[in-house]
Amino acid sequence: MDSGLAELDARISGCRACPRLVAWREEVARTKRAAFAEWTYWGRPVPGFGPADASLLIVGLAPAAHGANRTGRMFTGDRSGDVLYAALHDVGLASRGTAVSADDGLELYGVRITSPVHCAPPANRPTPGERDACRPWLVSELELLRPTLRAVVVLGAFGWQAVLPALTGAGWDVPRPRPAFAHGARITLDGRPRPLDLLGCFHVSQRNTFTGRLTPAMLRDVLRTAAEAAGLPTTPYER
């Protein structure tokens, strides 16, 4: 990994800026869930995952208490991650369609995954203040990815609201009034060294996937469109 991103990830993992989030993530790591009683939980902020020269960035919301907060890797070890990585694998952007632990051998191809809040929040709901406190990490990550980044997929309205000011902070031109979130939304932002395509997608939460608000086909369509915008090869979906 590029030394700049490696250093950023290490700094993120040691952050203790938000007392409520620190207390919650550490309490969850101590008490655990019965199904994971044998696990040693990560219990810290979860850094981004993927190559330092990614041309596509996927932005979620925050780590799940018994998912990434347990495994230490974005979207790993929970049902939301099962849906996301299956779709990434289907379109040729991941080496496998499952993510169970940080050492399971999963690789992403040209894609990095991050979130605007790096600690697991109670009830999966960070506060606006916690989102804003975490923003400098996202700005720094965007700045480090700038040489290769060509497209960003944002999962959900919370992430969309967090990403827009971060993109401004990292040097892209976000229009005013700020564009509203919608599934399938796509806008192009001016910036250097190249414009950036920003795409919206419903979050891969169980509430959305269990109710059919977001189907695997819908997710694959967004990812394939984003991959094309990012100049990444995709594979036809067959099952």
In the chain, the N- to C-terminal Cα span, in Å, equals 33
Q: To 10 degrees, what angle do helices 128-145 and 3-13 make?
A: 160
What number is the average pLDDT over the span 230-236? Answer: 92
- Residue 63, pLDDT score: 97
Per-residue pLDDT reduced to its tens digit, 123-134: 999 999 999 999
> Hey, how many other C-beta atoms are within 10 angstroms of the C-beta on 20?
14
Per-residue pLDDT reduced to its tens digit, 142-190: 999 999 999 999 999 999 999 999 999 999 999 999 999 999 999 999 9
pLDDT band for position 192 (50/70/90)?
confident
- Residue 34, pLDDT score: 95
pLDDT band for position 236 (50/70/90)?
confident
pLDDT band for position 3 (50/70/90)?
confident
What number is the average pLDDT over the span 221-225? Answer: 98
What number is the average pLDDT over the span 187-207? Answer: 95
Q: 88 - beta bridge partners?
A: none
Q: Indicate if the pLDDT at residue 237 is higher than 90.
A: no
Per-residue pLDDT reduced to its tens digit, 12-41: 999 999 999 999 999 999 999 999 999 999
- Residue 2, pLDDT score: 64
Q: Indicate if the pLDDT at residue 1 is higher than 60.
A: no
What distances in angstroms separate CA 228 from CA 132, 190, 220, one per listed residue?
31, 18, 12
Residues 6+ apart with CB under 8 A from 38: none
pLDDT exceeding 70 applies to what percent of the chain? 98
Per-residue pLDDT reduced to its tens digit, 74-112: 999 999 999 999 999 999 999 999 999 999 999 999 999
d(CA 34, CA 158): 30
**Alpha-carbon torsion (210, 213, 219, 220), positive or negative:** positive
- Residue 238, pLDDT score: 61
